[in-house]
Structure formats: structure tokens, C-alpha cells
Amino acid sequence: MADPEAEPPDALLADAPSQALVALPREADESPLDDPRASDVDEWGRSERMRALARRVYDPVYRNWFRVEWEGLENIPTEGGALLVANHAAAIPSDAPVIMHGIETELERPVYGLADDLFKGLPVVGTLWSRTGGVPAHPDNAYRLLREQGQLVLVFPEGSKGPGKHFSQRYQLRRFGRGGFVEIAMRAGVPVVPIAVVGAEESMPTLYNMSRLAKAAGLPYFPITANMLAFGPLGAVTYLPAKFKLRVLPPVHFDVEPDQPRYSKSRIMDESEAVRDHIQQALYDMLRKRRSVWFG
């Protein structure tokens, strides 16, 4: 996922925001979920019913296939807005659903993922991602979610450069764009919470990138993965059972007044690079302690 001001993130694919339907009046003791006239789709297109279904379907993958372990979950605020920033990997990124599912399951807080609009025009796919928490990547969307609604928002500042990496470049973070995620956090008056993710790089490693074909198709990359060699056509949608470990680092507070017309560009770039360096150093530490790709 990209810096919202540089290039849009791509870990989640989302349709454009949907207008929530207006429910007719109901009795005071009647639950909105029991009222067939009501819709639970919010202004961003997210449906809690669809999200709950997604959690039920994904939970066996999360617990039994990826065997996810978290460290530092207490660093994620239990209320109020926060911008979650993580490293990004796998040809078809596996980190976004792991992060969203883990936080929603463990902390019972919804997470909105800033989403690339690359596939939002595709039938079903765009709407499905929108219903499960994807939001088009735009600074105004991020600001409203963070400042006005106090939500958790997930962004991957590496953008498509992260998932597009060759396997030999795994866990080497790409540049975090122009640091727009820092400026959004400053404007919204919320902390940035860095998250280091180990496991995604091995879940769908890229062995070769067909750059010419990608360019002709208008895609950021067109990978040949180890999964394709192992599983054939099913490899395009089947992850390897890599062990996931995630470390949530302490929140970064910028101590500036929100809603200023502009912020120091040099300060923004310095803070962005500092966040990137914190995640990179955490990755190196986690990799040094890892005994096995498959068993952690």
C-alpha cells in the first residue's frame, strides 16, 4: 500500500464508498439487525454482517495455516483514531487480512484498510473488499476516518513496491513514498502505530517478475511465484503455510496541533524515515530470533 499522497496502497482492493441506506423508524426495543428494512452498510461500504462472515471463514486460515502470533497488541489504542503502518509483502498480499482479522478478533475494534483502486471496477471483487473494510486511498478519506470518526486505519506506505519485490529482497523495506501518512496523522491529531510483519514474504514469494507483460496489462507487477510452481493454477490463490509473527511497536506521537494548513516537509520526511527505520530494525531482530520459516 502506498503513501496516501504518493501512490495508493494495494493490500486491499475496495470499491468506491457506498451511501448507507436509511432505515425506517422502529420500536425502541427492536434491534437494528433484526429489522429487515435496515442496512448495516456504512458510508464507506463496510458491512458488519459481511465482516463477521469473513472472520468466520478466515479464522481457520489465521489460526491453523498461518498460526499467527502477536507481540505488543497493547500498543494499539482501545479507543480513538490511530494510523496503523506496516511492511507489505507477498505477490498477493497476505499481511492485510492477517492484521485486520487479528485486531478485530483480539481487540474487538474494526479496522479500515486504505485500498488501491486498481481492481475496484471488477465485478464482485471491488464490492466484496468494500464490504469487508476496504476504503479508497485518499487523504480526505483517511482524515475523516481518523479525526472525525476515531477509527483504526491501516496503510502500507511501500505500496506495490512491497509485494513486487523478488524473494531475494525479502524484508528489505522500500521507500515510504513522500511521507504523506505522517502528514495525515498530524492533521488528524492521531498517533502512528508501526507494525512489523514476519511471514508474509514466504507465504507467496515472487521468483520472477514478468515486467513487460505487467506493463502491457497496466499492472504494477506480474509475478511468477513459488506457489504457482507448487500448486499449478491454484497457486494463484493458495498461500504457503508460513508462520506469521507480528510485533506492534510503541505509538509515535508528533506533538503538533491538528488541522494546520501545512506542516514542515522536512519534519514529515524525517518522521516517515524514522517510522520506516523502526519497522526495519524490528524485522531484523525478529528474523534473528526466528528458528524456522514454517514453525517460527
The DSSP code sequence of the chain is -B-TTTS---SSB-PPPPPPPPPPP--TT--GGG-TT---B-TTS-BHHHHHHHHHHHHHIIIIIS--EEE-GGGS-SSS-EEEEE---TTTT-HHHHHHHHHHHHT---EEEEEB-TTTTSTTHHHHHHHTTEEE--HHHHHIIIIIT--EEEE-TBGGGTTTS-GGGTT-PPP-TTSHHHHHHHHHT--EEEEEEESHHHHS-EEEE-HHHHHHHT-S--EEEHHHHHHGGGGGT----PPPEEEEPPPB-----SS-S---HHHHHHHHHHHHHHHHHHHHHHHHH---TTT-
The confidence score (pLDDT) of residue 213 equals: 66
Whole-model pTM over 0.85: no
Please give the residue that has the higher pLDDT: either 89 or 173.
173
Phi, psi of 196 (to 5 degrees): -100, 130
Rounded to the nearest integer, the mean pLDDT of the chain is 84
Highest mean pLDDT among 71-75, 168-172, 218-222, 236-240: 71-75
Q: pLDDT confidence of 118, banded at 50, 70, 90?
A: low
Which phi-psi region, left, alpha or beta, contains residue 288 (left: φ > 0; alpha: ψ -120 to 50)?
Answer: alpha
Average pLDDT over residues 66-80: 97
Please give the residue that has the higher pLDDT: either 101 or 211.
101
Whole-number Å distance between alpha carbons of 71 and 296: 13
Q: How, if at all, do strands 82-86 and 111-115 pair?
A: unpaired
Fold for the domain defined by 40-289? Glycerol-3-phosphate (1)-acyltransferase (3.40.1130)
Say if residue 107's pLDDT is above 70.
yes
Whole-number Å distance between alpha carbons of 294 and 67: 9
Please give the residue that has the higher pLDDT: either 221 or 94.
94
Say if residue 156's pLDDT is above 50.
yes
Cα dihedral 24/26/28/33 (nearest 10): -90
Cell 525478529, residue located: 286
Average pLDDT over residues 277-284: 97
Residue type, 32: P
For residue 223, the cross-strand partners are 209
Average pLDDT over residues 117-135: 74
Average pLDDT over residues 260-265: 95
Q: Which of 207, 199, 185 is nearest to 274 (CA)?
A: 185
Specify the range with the lowest mean pLDDT, choosing from 8-22, 84-98, 197-211, 254-268: 8-22
Q: For 204-262, how does the pLDDT look when each residue is reduced to its tens digit (9 = 90+)?
A: 998 877 767 656 766 666 678 888 889 988 988 899 999 999 999 999 999 999 999 99
- Parse the chain into domains and list their residue ranges: 40-289
The confidence score (pLDDT) of residue 222 equals: 66
Percent of the chain at pLDDT exceeding 70:
80
Specify the range with the lowest mean pLDDT, choosing from 134-138, 160-164, 213-217, 238-242: 213-217
Q: For 35-68, how does the pLDDT look when each residue is reduced to its tens digit (9 = 90+)?
A: 444 578 999 989 999 999 999 999 999 999 999 9
